[in-house]
Structure 1
Amino acid sequence: MHEYSIVTALIEECERHAFANNASKVSRVEIKLGILSGVEPELLRTAFETFKLEGICREANLVMNIQPLVLRCLDCGQSTEHSERSVICSHCQSGQTKVLDGEDMMLMQLELEQA
């Protein structure tokens, strides 16, 4: 499960931001999680709940915004949004598509509290 190493890096990044801003606590962590990111949301949530128990993120809520797959068809030119893991154009059924969004996991926002 690579979700554990991802969460470890996420918590370290949260701690860096908190310390840089003299925060005593991280209360909310918001991420964008693309459906093609290769990260399973429930495994990520479980890993976050496990690894946050000690440290500045121990009371943080994890908010995951699942980013649909956004494709542009290289044949018909249409841009489409998919909630499933399919790279086939829903307009013309072409497999000649380019992924515009939905492959990444990004830290979007932190809510920090001062002592």
Structure 2
Amino acid sequence: MHELSITQTIIDTVTEAAQGAPVQQITLEIGELSAILPDSIQFCFEACIPNTPLAGAVLAIQTVPGRGRCRDCGYEMPLEMPYGICDQCDSLAIDIIAGEGLVILSMETMPCA
């Protein structure tokens, strides 16, 4: 399960960025074509945060649908897989333009006392 190592990297990155401030919420953006399972990230996050500066933090996950653009005709289309056939010209030359990434969009912290 590669989601565990991905989640640990997210926790480490947010912990460092928070500079000791308690974290209330983290918002992630996960692409539907990224091969990362949002439910697994959520499960791993909840299992990994006790006894860390992120204990009690809420993880919000937004998914980004896959989109592709045909290199031959320029048509943009939704993609459910990281490949496809152009709906307009039947070309296989499709570039993925959205839905592959994992981004930490934001984190909310409480002021240190």
Q: What TM-score do you get using the length of structure 2 for normalisation?
A: 0.89
The Cα shift of 1:86 comes to 5.1
% of aligned pairs identical? 27
> Pairwise CA RMSD of aligned residues?
1.4
Map 1:63-82; keep pairs closer than 5 Å.
63-82=60-79
C-alpha distance in 1 between matches for 2:54 and 2:87? 41
C-alpha change, 1:2 and 1:56, in structure 2 (3 Å) is: same
Q: What TM-score do you get using the length of structure 1 for normalisation?
A: 0.88
Which residue identity lines up with residue 13 of structure 2 in the other structure? E
Which residue identity lines up with residue 52 of structure 1 in the other structure? I
**5+ residue gaps, structure 2:** none
C-alpha distance in 1 between matches for 2:87 and 2:53? 45
Which residue identity lines up with residue 11 of structure 2 in the other structure? I
| Structure 2 counterpart of 1:110 | 107
| Structure 2 counterpart of 1:32 | 29
Q: Describe the superposition over 1:12-46 as per-residue Cα deviations: whole angstroms up to 9, x where unpaired.
A: 01101110xx52x1111111101121111111110
For the residue of structure 2 that corresponds to 1:114, the secondary structure is coil
C-alpha distance in 2 between matches for 1:61 and 1:91? 43
Q: Number of residue pairs matched?
A: 111
Which residue identity lines up with residue 16 of structure 2 in the other structure? R
For the residue of structure 2 that corresponds to 1:32, the secondary structure is strand
CA contact (8 A) 2:33 2:82 kept: no
Which residue identity lines up with residue 17 of structure 2 in the other structure? H
Which residue identity lines up with residue 13 of structure 1 in the other structure? T
The Cα shift of 1:11 comes to 0.3
For the residue of structure 2 that corresponds to 1:75, the secondary structure is coil
C-alpha distance in 1 between matches for 2:81 and 2:48? 29
| Structure 2 counterpart of 1:87 | 83
Which residue identity lines up with residue 47 of structure 2 in the other structure? T
